[in-house]
Structure 1
């Protein structure tokens, strides 16, 4: 039974009314359990990562197979008003490089003061420059390790290179002011089998951009024109962003969190409090630096727990309940998941 499996001894058994009302309080309805947020974690093997277990945050090193490198997750986030773009290292707190006495000699954090009379507004170019610097800091601080950079969803993070394949930005005629797009290889999912794996030039021999296939439609829909069909080809849909390409080319990994799920990014839990712009400029760094590494580890464990709960299919109040019950671990236990599923099975 569920209650004994959780180590709870009751003076008298529960009636059917109690678990039904408990499920309603958690936000569940009498329906089939559906999958919630999905985050592709195939590049995020937690067996290669350090964990912090229990209420005392016991440091647990990964058991690496021969030839495998340790993976260190690096979460990124940005604060506005004054613009702070920072990274936290799941093992050591803020991403920095220290000398032997422990003095910080390089910091990945960037702070600007954008506005009419201030710095230029933060954009993709500034982010890429910062990430290059962050990669250098990581390499110096953690040789023989792989960084897993974790970002929120934003237009800057998804920005494609200037020569990206964009079917709906090709002109109706060759040449012109349209952007030149890079050559590609026809994917194996193309309907014409004999073309699989063949190179596809996106410019004419004279260097002019090629024309878009016709007929032409002025908007994107399912299958009205060749441009729409072309845009659905794997080489058009599976293009890495400039940010991801930069990180992958440096030998590291990069993933993006689902939209509207700040609980998956522990750096979101670090707050800055201020009343005026001038006060913000003075206290931002001080407040961020004052956040203890132990607190950062607890924030990170909380995010790992939510990720684990979502992978198991929990959503809403049920995911929050599971995370609260697993404060000492970095993952939601299967026993907790089985308990919830068992109650749902009885209720349905």
Structure 2
């Protein structure tokens, strides 16, 4: 037996006057630690099932996730929705990779975000690239329509299939995760 004093839990004093609030980054770090412990105690091919409630902090996408809502219609020197991380390349329906940014060797726009118009044109959505960036107040009348650039991108398979940061982390280690139903006290142990 190991004499390790490591533990998988963390005491946390939550409030704005204490240690803040348990963020998605904290949750992912805690889950990473739990995965390490699981591997130590169940080496081999054992699979863990992680469960989570529906707290808003659990429903965050990875910093490099494809978030159409934050995209601009025109090119701009832009690093990403968190101010640091660029979105990862998307996979087009034909299997090819598409970057949202001009390459670093581009003569005039190195590192710039391409803009939704250019992204849509590269995908073959020439007419849709001319649509407004978004509907008024981001409220599209038909969620399946091609009414604005944001909606066209929202409906693309890789945007629809976007996984949460917690899910990506757990599945990357070949484990499973389920979320409890919202606010159902008989099925959700945290309620």
Shorter-chain TM-score category? 0.7 to 0.9
Q: What are the ranges of 5 or more consecutive residues in structure 2 without an aligned counterpart?
A: 81-85, 104-109, 118-129
**Structure 2 SS opposite 1:255:** strand
Residue 207 of structure 1 aligns with which residue? 111
1:250 pairs with 154, 173, 180, which one? 173
Higher strand share: 1
Task: Indicate if the aligned counterparts of 2:54 and 2:182 stay in contact, CA closer than 8 A.
Answer: yes
Q: Distance in 1 between matches of 2:186 and 2:20?
A: 30
- 1:276-295 to 2 correspondences below 5 Å: none
Task: Indicate if the aligned counterparts of 1:220 and 1:228 stay in contact, CA closer than 8 A.
Answer: no
Q: Distance in 1 between matches of 2:183 and 2:17?
A: 32
Q: How many residues align?
A: 160
Please report how far the alpha carbon of residue 258 of structure 1 lies from its aligned counterpart in structure 2 after TM superposition: 2.2
- 1:45-124 to 2 correspondences below 5 Å: 99=1, 105-124=5-24
Distance 1:176 1:118, change over 3 A: same
Q: What are the ranges of 5 or more consecutive residues in structure 1 without an aligned counterpart?
A: 1-98, 188-195, 270-348
Please report how far the alpha carbon of residue 160 of structure 1 lies from its aligned counterpart in structure 2 after TM superposition: 0.7
Q: Distance in 2 between matches of 1:118 and 1:242?
A: 26
Please report how far the alpha carbon of residue 116 of structure 1 lies from its aligned counterpart in structure 2 after TM superposition: 4.8
1:157 pairs with 35, 58, 76, which one? 58
Scaled by the length of structure 2, the TM-score of the pair is 0.73
Task: Indicate if the aligned counterparts of 2:101 and 2:113 stay in contact, CA closer than 8 A.
Answer: yes
- 1:254-269 to 2 correspondences below 5 Å: 254-265=177-188, 267-268=189-190
Residue 230 of structure 1 aligns with which residue? 153
Mapped pair 1:241 → 2:147: no
Task: Indicate if the aligned counterparts of 2:72 and 2:116 stay in contact, CA closer than 8 A.
Answer: yes
**Structure 2 SS opposite 1:204:** coil
- 1:333-344 to 2 correspondences below 5 Å: none
Please report how far the alpha carbon of residue 181 of structure 1 lies from its aligned counterpart in structure 2 after TM superposition: 2.0
Task: Indicate if the aligned counterparts of 2:77 and 2:111 stay in contact, CA closer than 8 A.
Answer: no
Q: Distance in 2 between matches of 1:133 and 1:170?
A: 33
Please report how far the alpha carbon of residue 143 of structure 1 lies from its aligned counterpart in structure 2 after TM superposition: 2.0
How well do the aligned residues superpose, as a CA RMSD in angstroms? 2.4
Please give the per-residue CA displacement for 1:78-108, whole angstroms capped at 9, x wherever unaligned: xxxxxxxxxxxxxxxxxxxxx48xx994432
Q: Larger relative contact order (C-alpha < 8 A, sep ≥ 6)?
A: 2
Scaled by the length of structure 1, the TM-score of the pair is 0.42
Higher helix share: 1
The worse-fitting range, judged by mean Cα deviation, of 156-165 and 215-224 is 215-224
Residue 87 of structure 2 aligns with which residue? 181
Please report how far the alpha carbon of residue 174 of structure 1 lies from its aligned counterpart in structure 2 after TM superposition: 0.4
